[in-house]
Structure 1
């Protein structure tokens, strides 16, 4: 019996998600189709419709799980130890130097292979 109730709730959640998607699509369509109305009013209407669609999606199980995921991601982002400016500049310079060295190596390898194939086949300068 509990499985049946869970299935009905899931069906209702799916319907709510589709309604939220259609509502958002209608808002975007209305934004672009009502080009004779002020951009401010169209933008405010689109933001209002988007908020209504998000609120409707939040009432579903997937919407609540997505909200919890976003909160957890924000919490983890606060725990990150960000590098200092000096570390960032040093790392960037090292990466640029290595890219330059690898580029020069590949250019020299290309020149060597071109010369070798030219010497073997007699084609090229």
Structure 2
């Protein structure tokens, strides 16, 4: 990650956040209230539009700009990753599955031994 000074928000950031949450709340409440009157398609379009508008408003805040910068830097870092081939992924998955089964069997055996030992020591039968 880059070492930069943090983006300073403006004095209007709290107003922008309140407006963002008000728009999202209105979308949720409107979707609930107009369940019977408006078709699902129009309600979905309205909710998507409200989310987009709220996202655009939130992106204009200091924290919104920081989040966008973080997403851009993350995308750059993901491009640098060397992803395994299909064969490597299958082999690794098989190794994990075999190790999991072996450990499950070992724990199952130990549990059985411990149950029998405790029942023997306490005098309670199985």
TM-score normalized by structure 1? 0.84
Give the CA RMSD over aligned residues. 1.8
Give the secondary-structure state (helix, strand or coil) at the position aligned to 1:124.
coil
Please state if 1:93 is matched with 2:94.
Answer: yes
Distance in structure 2 (CA, Å) of the matches to 1:59 and 1:52:
11
SS where residue 31 of structure 1 aligns? helix
Residues 47/121 of structure 1: CA separation in 2 closer, same or farther (3 Å cut): closer
Structure 1 segments unaligned to the other structure (5+ residues)? 1-5
Question: Is 1:109 the counterpart of 2:110 in the alignment?
Answer: yes
RCO greater where, 1 or 2, for CA within 8 Å and sep 6 or more? 2
Structure 1 residue aligned with 2:15:
15
How many residue pairs get aligned? The number is 118
5+ residue gaps, structure 2, are 1-7
Aligned to 1:3: none
